[in-house]
Structure 1
Amino acid sequence: MALIEVPKGAPSHQLPDVPALEKKDDAPSLTSSTKHEKVDSEPDGNQSAEAKKAANVPPIQNQNPEPVWAHGIQLWAIMIAVSLVLFLMLLDGTIIVAAVPRITDDFHSLNDIGWYGAAYQLGSAVFQPLTGKIYMKFKPKARPIFFVLFEIGSLLCGVANSSNMLIGGRVVAGAGASGMFNGSLIIISECAPMERRPSFPLGFLLGNWNILNVLGFYLNLPVGGVVVALIILVRIPQQHPRPPPMSVFRSLHTHLDLLGFAVFAPALIMLLLACQYGGTTYPWSNSRIIGLFCGAGAMFIVFLIWDYHKGDEAMIPMSIARMRTVWTSCMVYGLMMSNLYLASYWVPVYFQGVKGVSPIKSGIYLLAMIVAHVFAAISSGPIGKNVVLGAMINLVGYTIPVALFASVLLSVGCGLFGTFSPSTPVGKWIGYQILYGVGRGLGIQMPILSVQKTVPPKQIPLAMALITFSQSFGAALFLSLGETIYSNSFGILIHEYAPSVNVTEVTDAGATGFRSFVSGADLEGVLIAYAKSIDRVFYMAAGLAASCFIFAWGMGWKDLRKKKAEVSKV
């Protein structure tokens, strides 16, 4: 029988089929004599298959090594790269916010106002689940592939000379962003232990993108080159091994479940197209809208059957999606981010369309929301260790209380946004934004932290893909519905408050262009109809925030702080 070296402390069950012999001091490894040792029950020259297999077993390695985290300059370089990635992605995802009213004036495309945000989220949502499988099989350094796609989309947006070209560029940029955000979350989870992740840059950056909105899409191009260089040059730790890339490429369709993706993507696109066109371009009873809904439902049923057949190898494994912490966190994150995008898009439209200020000035008016968001995001970093926001943050480190409090602030803030009118004074809209910004900054990281605390490291890429998919899908869906609510409301209310004004002319003129030919009492009536139509979008946003309060109870009571036993070892 061949001798196998067993390291001290290794559990005896690690070789169930091979008896572990005592380790000899003079035989640290297999020697030539042991390699040719005969098994007693076999004739000379005829070793059993088990003995041959045992002779080729390498020395046993520790199968549960201590995780290796990034430190010092390595951690700083990784965090700078992640910060820039998140900043550029969020900047591009919302860079159009302050410019939307002016774009509708230039392209005469007020009816496309919902598309400018939804197109980006559509491109991201379609590819988001697939990125989970990609990062599960490939290293997080695969992000430059998505970065190239993202930069191409940004370039198309920068040179767009029509509304359709701009929408196409937004779709391409969103497809690239699908892998960037998920990859950033995975890199953070593999570089730092759980108790340090709340202090990393996600919440801070989600509040900071508005500051540089006026710089345009071209900002992404030079900074993107710096990010790619950092990602390639810096070594990123891995908390679970990936298979060799060539072995994955040989059976790519199996590893990534490309057939499942081919069924899932059309279902999602048809659903979002139906929500975008329904009630605006076509009535809800139109055969095109009904056909899109029916096609989306049929394809989704086929996808569920295929997903069940594939099991854990599916693009969206049901074993992960069924976990209560995962699906409730996805609901909270999707609803909260949908609320964020609705407020981020429609508050500037209110300032420019109703208040009549310039795009730059509307960005300045948003500073109250931004500063409150950043302040709250920083204070909610090391949960339970700061006193900036008082006793609420000094709770024992659980995500649920913070998420509940944040959802209350968001719903109240959006409800107050729903009172906006042409005569709303400065003090009120500043105070409303501060209240809303604090809630947004506190709650935005909680679902991500809950999932990372619950899911095993190997399954984090898939879980993070579900989280980010919920964001993109929710934003695309509710931005489309927001546009439908606004368009239908404006068409009805303008007849009530400005009956002598031609609705088509106002719509074709853009978000602010109608001021050039509407004046006096008619202008006052148009502004009232404009403000009340936007208010109804904020009502929906308040409902989304209230829904977060319900689903947040299922996110799991996991303490994010380091345990006392772990602290004593340090």
Structure 2
Amino acid sequence: MSFIDADPEKQGSNDNVASTGSSENVIPREASPRPIHGWKWAIAYASMISTTFLFALDNTIVADIHPVILDLFDEVSLLPWIGVGLALGTMCVLPWGKAYGVFNVKYVYLFNIALFEIGSAVCGAAPNMTALVVGCVIAGVGGSGMYSGTLSFVAMLTSLKERPVYMAGSTVIWGIGSVLGPVVGGAFADSSATWRWAFYINLPIGAVFAPSYLFLVPSVDPQSSKSWAEKCRRIDWIMMTMFLAGSASLVMAITSAARCVLLVVCIVLARYHPGMDKDNRLYPAHFFKRPILVNLQLQMFLVSGIVLAMTYYIPLFFQFIRGDGALDAGIRLLPFIISMVVFAMGNGALMPKLPYILPWHLFGSALVVAGTALLYTADLSTSNAKIYGYCILVGAGSGCYALAGFAVVQSLVPLKDISNAVGAMAISQDLGMVIFLAMAGSIYQNLTLQKVTQAMPALSAADITNLVAGTSSRTYQALSGEERDLVTPQITDAMKNVWWFFLVAGILSFVLTLGLGRTRLKGANAAEGELESCD
């Protein structure tokens, strides 16, 4: 399928199309590749990024409501799975990315919107912690499909020149959703509406945009000439099953290395899968032969993990060092998120004019290293202004390159591989979120258990787990002022190790940046996957 606009007035002449030398690859230059324009496109794009907003909101909205949920259900062992369950569901982003390259994009997109709303309803109505976790997983599966669908639509319906701007728009909306998540969650938790509306809120927002989803979002079928059976044969079902099982094993492997067997099998299948043509594999094996693609995926993995985990631990840090409630702690996150959004917008606006890969990643990762290193030094006596400054460094640094990779990889591969490239970056992003949340949670809970036990031996392990969930937890509220003064330094000291974990990840990102070389993207050549070396 060619994505050149069918409208002759918008399409222009055939000179607007440049061939890559293959009958399969048609590269749009200045012509608009979408069938709708003006107000219809504006509303359609707004509805697409509304799903990005909802997904981003869900990723951070639970950051401040853990204590309230724990007090209601009192199932300590499942508490970490609220955040991890949502992130684990997003592992479906790679299969969804493949599906968007095979089936009608609009139909897959609508299915995922429905799935996300169902998951949100299950979460809001959950009678116990198990149901809540299941709802989070369902919402994660649907949310990842919505997110991947928006990226696929932007890739298919925008020209190479305008794509970074639309990607930046998606970044801004993601940032707004991420900012509002902890604030909205904290507000609901502290109000008569209760925490359940932190999930129910997705339903009316989805209903408002439903007419646009149904009637304005264009229908795009990348393989319209193929039958349903032929399309199904192009999906790597074996690899998909092993990948999802391996992803779940990866999270559990953090506490038990023996459970990593399925992940190893998954990696081997990705490289040597004999049962599927290489062009139709869930993860295209030929990407392994492009070091720059692998590097960019690793960068995405690291920076995305840092960003999401920071949105959980910055509010928690302020709860203990300043005694903030859920709402106030969520507001404290604003400097971090706003700085990330501003720099991500700058990246999206300037990337077409300054198309060098290295400076963005080098400068951004250096700021992340500086910010996390300074956070490691923060304690109870550190002023709010300094902590905000440290958070701004991390936010600005991550904004420089957190989502830039999506636009970059699309310009490094042929048109037929764009959906695969988007899927590969999206799964790197989600893997980072899942693993960093799980590892940071493991570090935080294990160390706080040790340190608080030494300070207050009378507290049980269950009480300590409840305590470290936040200052609104039942156990923390039951402590006297002297007891709070005793445990708070232990908790914040344990949190230093979380900042140390982020620092190591930032250093690794900086080191990987040096492998990007002096590479630049230029014009249509970028869309053909050709790179130019800067002398």
The TM-score range, normalised by the shorter chain, is 0.7 to 0.9
Query: Residues 138, 226 of structure 1: CA spacing in aligned structure 2 closer, same or farther, 3 A cutoff?
Result: farther
Distance 1:487 1:307 in 2: 42
Opposite residue 483 of structure 2, the aligned amino acid is D
Q: Retained in 2: the 8 A contact 1:399–1:449?
A: no
Query: Residues 249, 299 of structure 1: CA spacing in aligned structure 2 closer, same or farther, 3 A cutoff?
Result: same
Q: Retained in 2: the 8 A contact 1:204–1:373?
A: no
Question: For residues 199-218 of structure 1, what are the structure 2 equivalents within 5 Å?
Answer: 199-200=165-166, 201-209=169-177, 210-211=179-180, 213-214=184-185, 216-218=198-200
Distance 1:533 1:307 in 2: 47
Shift of 1:197: 2.3
Opposite residue 115 of structure 1, the aligned amino acid is W
The alignment partner of 2:350 has SS state of: coil
Question: For residues 18-33 of structure 1, what are the structure 2 equivalents within 5 Å?
Answer: none
Shift of 1:561: 6.7
Question: For residues 170-569 of structure 1, what are the structure 2 equivalents within 5 Å?
Answer: 170-200=136-166, 201-209=169-177, 210-211=179-180, 213-214=184-185, 216-234=198-216, 236=218, 241-244=222-225, 247-275=226-254, 278=255, 289-298=256-265, 300-302=267-269, 304-306=271-273, 310-383=277-350, 396-499=354-457, 501-509=459-467, 510-512=469-471, 513-555=474-516, 557-559=519-521
Q: Retained in 2: the 8 A contact 1:272–1:477?
A: yes
- Range with bigger deviation, 554-563 or 296-305: 554-563
RMSD: 3.0
Query: Residues 191, 64 of structure 1: CA spacing in aligned structure 2 closer, same or farther, 3 A cutoff?
Result: closer
Shift of 1:384: 6.1
Distance 2:239 2:495 in 1: 39
Opposite residue 255 of structure 1, the aligned amino acid is R
Distance 1:267 1:537 in 2: 25
Opposite residue 470 of structure 2, the aligned amino acid is A
Shift of 1:490: 0.9
Match of 1:128?
A: 93
Question: For residues 141-180 of structure 1, what are the structure 2 equivalents within 5 Å?
Answer: 141-142=106-107, 143-180=109-146
Distance 1:384 1:263 in 2: 37
Match of 2:33?
A: 69
Opposite residue 243 of structure 1, the aligned amino acid is S
Q: Retained in 2: the 8 A contact 1:196–1:382?
A: no
Structure 1 unaligned regions, length at least 5: 1-7, 10-59, 279-288, 386-394, 564-570
- Range with bigger deviation, 210-219 or 263-272: 210-219
Distance 2:88 2:77 in 1: 18
Opposite residue 235 of structure 2, the aligned amino acid is L
- Range with bigger deviation, 505-514 or 312-321: 505-514
Opposite residue 278 of structure 2, the aligned amino acid is G
Distance 1:197 1:61 in 2: 21
Q: Retained in 1: the 8 A contact 2:355–2:521?
A: yes
- Range with bigger deviation, 510-519 or 174-183: 510-519
Match of 1:137?
A: 102
Shift of 1:299: 5.2
Distance 1:415 1:61 in 2: 49
Distance 1:65 1:178 in 2: 28
Per the normalisation by structure 2, the TM-score is 0.82
Shift of 1:177: 1.5
Per the normalisation by structure 1, the TM-score is 0.77
Distance 1:548 1:532 in 2: 25
The alignment partner of 1:538 has SS state of: helix
Question: For residues 42-61 of structure 1, what are the structure 2 equivalents within 5 Å?
Answer: none
Opposite residue 258 of structure 1, the aligned amino acid is W
Opposite residue 531 of structure 1, the aligned amino acid is T
Shift of 1:166: 1.5
Query: Residues 555, 112 of structure 1: CA spacing in aligned structure 2 closer, same or farther, 3 A cutoff?
Result: farther
The alignment partner of 1:380 has SS state of: helix
Q: Retained in 2: the 8 A contact 1:138–1:242?
A: yes
Query: Residues 72, 358 of structure 1: CA spacing in aligned structure 2 closer, same or farther, 3 A cutoff?
Result: same
Q: Retained in 2: the 8 A contact 1:307–1:314?
A: no
Opposite residue 474 of structure 1, the aligned amino acid is G
Q: Retained in 1: the 8 A contact 2:455–2:487?
A: yes
Opposite residue 203 of structure 2, the aligned amino acid is L
Q: Retained in 1: the 8 A contact 2:103–2:231?
A: no
Q: Aligned residues: percent identity?
A: 25
Distance 1:501 1:422 in 2: 23
Q: Retained in 1: the 8 A contact 2:25–2:416?
A: no
Opposite residue 166 of structure 1, the aligned amino acid is L
Query: Residues 325, 224 of structure 1: CA spacing in aligned structure 2 closer, same or farther, 3 A cutoff?
Result: farther
Distance 1:150 1:300 in 2: 28
Distance 1:547 1:369 in 2: 21
- Range with bigger deviation, 439-448 or 223-232: 223-232
Q: Retained in 2: the 8 A contact 1:144–1:228?
A: no
Q: Retained in 1: the 8 A contact 2:373–2:503?
A: yes
Considering only CA atoms, is the larger Rg found in Structure 1 or Structure 2? Answer: 1
The alignment partner of 1:223 has SS state of: helix
Distance 1:293 1:488 in 2: 21
Distance 1:497 1:419 in 2: 22
Distance 2:522 2:380 in 1: 45
The alignment partner of 1:97 has SS state of: helix
Distance 1:374 1:63 in 2: 33
Opposite residue 438 of structure 2, the aligned amino acid is S
Distance 1:205 1:292 in 2: 37
Opposite residue 365 of structure 2, the aligned amino acid is S
Match of 2:530?
A: none
Opposite residue 272 of structure 1, the aligned amino acid is V
Deviations 1:87-125 (A, max 9, x none): 011111221112224333433355544322211111111
Query: Residues 74, 329 of structure 1: CA spacing in aligned structure 2 closer, same or farther, 3 A cutoff?
Result: farther
Opposite residue 93 of structure 2, the aligned amino acid is Q
Distance 2:366 2:27 in 1: 42
Q: Retained in 1: the 8 A contact 2:452–2:464?
A: no
- Range with bigger deviation, 141-150 or 206-215: 206-215
Query: Residues 65, 455 of structure 1: CA spacing in aligned structure 2 closer, same or farther, 3 A cutoff?
Result: closer
Match of 1:53?
A: none
Deviations 1:262-315 (A, max 9, x none): 23222222222222xx1xxxxxxxxxx354123443454355442675322211
Opposite residue 128 of structure 1, the aligned amino acid is V
Query: Residues 543, 205 of structure 1: CA spacing in aligned structure 2 closer, same or farther, 3 A cutoff?
Result: farther
Query: Residues 521, 498 of structure 1: CA spacing in aligned structure 2 closer, same or farther, 3 A cutoff?
Result: farther
Deviations 1:221-264 (A, max 9, x none): 122234343233225386x94234xx442245421121221232
The alignment partner of 2:62 has SS state of: coil
Distance 1:307 1:526 in 2: 56
The alignment partner of 1:161 has SS state of: coil
Q: Retained in 1: the 8 A contact 2:371–2:393?
A: yes
The number of residue pairs the alignment matches comes to 483
Structure 2 unaligned regions, length at least 5: 1-13, 16-22, 189-197, 526-535
Query: Residues 159, 335 of structure 1: CA spacing in aligned structure 2 closer, same or farther, 3 A cutoff?
Result: same
Q: Retained in 2: the 8 A contact 1:253–1:259?
A: no
